[in-house]
Amino acid sequence: MNKNQKIILWTGVGVFVAMAALVIVLITNNSRQTATANEALAKVDSLALANDRLLLTNEFNQLNADFSQYEDQQVYLKNDSLVQQYNAARLKVEGLLKELNAEKASNSQNRTRIKQLEGEIASLKKIVRHYLEEIKRLGEENEGLRKEIEQVQAKNQQLETTAATVQRDNQQLEQTVAKAKKLSVTGVSFNAYNKKGKVEKKVAKAKTLGTSFTINPNNTASAGKKSVYMRIISPDGVVLGGGPSFSYDGQTLSSSAAREIEYDNGEQHVQIYWQVNTTLTPGDYTVELFCDGSRLASRHFNMK
């Protein structure tokens, strides 16, 4: 082998070695780039899964918040089937979230869990939507009932007010009728009489005390037999007794004397006498007249 051939041979070997080294370097760099790229893709995939998990967790928490916001209105529901459905689905979602957060699963397994979560949360959304619609519907029904009750109460109040007004008017009418039926008297006089029936100036010598008066005409009053009662009250406040008792203003009073008359709705003159049965003293005497449970007159007379 000559010198030139040796040079060519060693040159070729060098080129080959250089090319082999270059190939090795290129292969090594490519493997590193591939590994780096795979690592980057894995990180991106993990971040995407973590973001999906976070989004689902937030969505689940929001559903729970929405449901809890109207939880105190469950009284509107006739049954709690929706609440039972929601609680069952909520527990399932909570289990899936715990599994997703606790397990060191592969990305493909995580994706399977996330798909399950998406389906379960979609079911939760439907239940919550139906629940809120039911709450709203029943709330509106209750609001309508509340308004009806308020209207009924207002009508009842109006009826009570009307009834009270009618009752008051009836009472006033009864009082007016009672006043209209009440007898009235005029010309009341009071005198002392001696044993001959003559007027006695000194009351201490009187044998009889008597009052006379006129009953005025009254077409509203009932006609027929009536008892007129006379009470004579002495200067010291004692009722001169001897007559029958009668009722007045819920009380039973004693009279000095009474007389029964036949009343015909016309004018009628009446005299009532009391026989003296005690010592009389000069002073102011009070004469009261009663009939049909009413006091017709009360007069004061000074007797000497």
Query: What domains does the chain contain, in order, with CATH numbers?
Result: 3-138 (no CATH), 185-303 (2.60.40.2560)
Least confident of 49-63, 99-113, 131-145: 99-113
Q: Tens digit of pLDDT for each residue in 270-280?
A: 999 999 999 99
For 96, other C-beta atoms within 10 Å of its C-beta total 19
Indicate the DSSP class of residue 278: S
Mean pLDDT value of segment 156-171: 80
Output the average pLDDT for the chain: 78
Confidence of residue 144 (pLDDT cuts 50, 70, 90): confident
Residue (of 262, 266, 270) closest to 225 by Cα position: 262
| C-alpha torsion sign, points 108, 112, 115, 117 | negative
Q: Tens digit of pLDDT for each residue in 7-59?
A: 544 554 454 455 555 545 455 555 554 445 445 554 555 666 667 767 777 77
CA 69 to chain centre: 26
38: alpha, beta or left? (left if phi > 0; alpha if psi -120 to 50)? alpha
Distance (Å, whole) CA 201 – CA 180 = 38
Distance (Å, whole) CA 67 – CA 134 = 12
0.85 surpassed by pTM: no
Mean pLDDT value of segment 91-101: 70
Is the pLDDT higher at 41 or at 198?
Answer: 198
Residue (of 34, 94, 38, 40) closest to 64 by Cα position: 94
pLDDT for residue 261? 94
Least confident of 5-14, 46-55, 194-203, 290-299: 5-14
For 259, other C-beta atoms within 10 Å of its C-beta total 15
